[in-house]
A and B are shown apart, each in its own frame.
Chain A
Amino acid sequence: MNVDQELRRLFADDRLDVPAKAGAAEAVVAGAHRVRRRRVAAGAAGGAVLAALLVTGGVVLAGMGSASQLPPAGPGLPTATPTAQTTIAPTEPSDALRYPTAGATDPPSIPASR
């Protein structure tokens, strides 16, 4: 059986015809109007939502910008604190640290252990 020929015969068959119902074309035209209205409404709603989002976003961004704004630095504000200058005056070394020199008294004797 030749499938190519069979397919051509089948697709040329009159039984493939489907009778259109009365008023089918009018129903299709009405449906097209309905689809179009729905699409227009969806587009308008989407546009409104987008506009609302843009406005909200703008307001939020503006609020964040004003909150983070810092006052300009004034000229009177010191940028470095003056520190007191300290000088270390030379001091006389104490007796304990003084190196023994000639003529000095002997160091105290260490008592003998028992």
Chain B
Amino acid sequence: MDDFAEFAGSAMPGLLRYGHALTGNPHDAADLVQGVLEKVGSRWPAVVRRSGDPLAYTRRAMANAHVSRWRRSRRENLVADVPDCPAARARYAFEDEPLWRALRTLPPRQRAVIVLRYYEGLSEVEIANTLGVTAGTVKSQASKAMSALRCALADAVDGRCEA
């Protein structure tokens, strides 16, 4: 378990950054990293023995956990209270980024495909293996995501979307 403590300490900054890209906000990123690292740590000897690369394994687990968590929680977003006004919260670093706002509107799987492609630099086949889907699904999800992003950016720049 000492190995795992060392791994968690050294990998956490990068994983938090990756989680931020995946989830779109730092709080969900922290939750995602903690949940996945706890599961990885609980099976640490097996993870090291079977995967050979615990960091890559953890990143794959984060991508899958992010998509699964959204599936579980998307029906639970009815709230009794009105959420806080955005002006009352601290200003978020990417608030003024049209592309970041557009990324937030993507469904988690499409967002995961984009993050794995442009943040991780994975190929379509590697993304398919990571997410447990076919390469065709990755291609279609990436195509839809890019169309949505182009549309959102065009909309932000000149108020027109031709998609």
The answer, among A8, A13, A17, A31, for a CB contact under 8 Å with B38, is A31
Q: Is A41 in the interface zone, CB < 8 Å from B?
A: no
A16 touches B20 (CB 8 A): yes
Q: Is B71 in the interface zone, CB < 8 Å from A?
A: no
The digit string for A23-61, where 1 denotes a CB below 8 A from any CB of B, is 011111101111110010000000000000000000000
The digit string for B21-50, where 1 denotes a CB below 8 A from any CB of A, is 100001001100010011111111000000
B-side interface residues, number (CB < 8 Å)? 40
B146 touches A3 (CB 8 A): yes
Q: Say whether chain A's binding surface is mostly helix, strand, loop, or mixed.
A: helix
Cβ-closest chain A residue relative to B25: A18
Q: Is B60 in the interface zone, CB < 8 Å from A?
A: no
A-side interface residues, number (CB < 8 Å)? 29
A8 touches B42 (CB 8 A): no
B42 touches A36 (CB 8 A): yes
Q: Please indicate the chain B residues that have their CB under 8 angstroms from the CB of A20 in the complex.
A: 12-13, 16
Measured CB to CB, the closest approach of chain A to B20, in angstroms, equals 5
Q: What total count of A-B pairs have CB within 8 Å?
A: 92
Cβ-closest chain B residue relative to A10: B99
Q: Contacts A18-B30, A24-B12 given: A32-B97 contact, CB under 8 Å?
A: no
B38 touches A18 (CB 8 A): no
Q: Please indicate the chain B residues that have their CB under 8 angstroms from the CB of A10 in the complex.
A: 97, 99-100, 103
Q: Is B4 in the interface zone, CB < 8 Å from A?
A: yes
Q: Please indicate the chain A residues that have their CB under 8 angstroms from the CB of B38 in the complex.
A: 28, 31-32, 34-35
Q: Please indicate the chain B residues that have their CB under 8 angstroms from the CB of A27 in the complex.
A: 34
In the complex, A16 Cα to B20 Cα: how many Å?
A: 6
Q: Please indicate the chain A residues that have their CB under 8 angstroms from the CB of B12 in the complex.
A: 20, 24-25, 28
Interface stretch, picked from B80-88, B111-119, B127-135, is B111-119
Q: Which 10 A-B pairs have the closest CB atoms?
A: A32-B41, A31-B38, A18-B16, A35-B42, A36-B42, A25-B9, A15-B93, A7-B118, A11-B119, A18-B26
Point out residues on A near B: beta carbons under 8 Å.
1, 3-4, 6-8, 10-11, 13, 15-21, 24-29, 31-36, 39
Known: A21-B30, A32-B4, A34-B38. 5 other contacts (CB 8 A): A20-B16, A25-B5, A31-B38, A36-B41, A36-B43
Point out residues on B near A: beta carbons under 8 Å.
1, 4-5, 8-9, 12-13, 16-17, 19-21, 26, 29-30, 34, 37-44, 93-94, 97, 99-100, 103, 114-115, 118-119, 146, 149-150, 153-154, 157
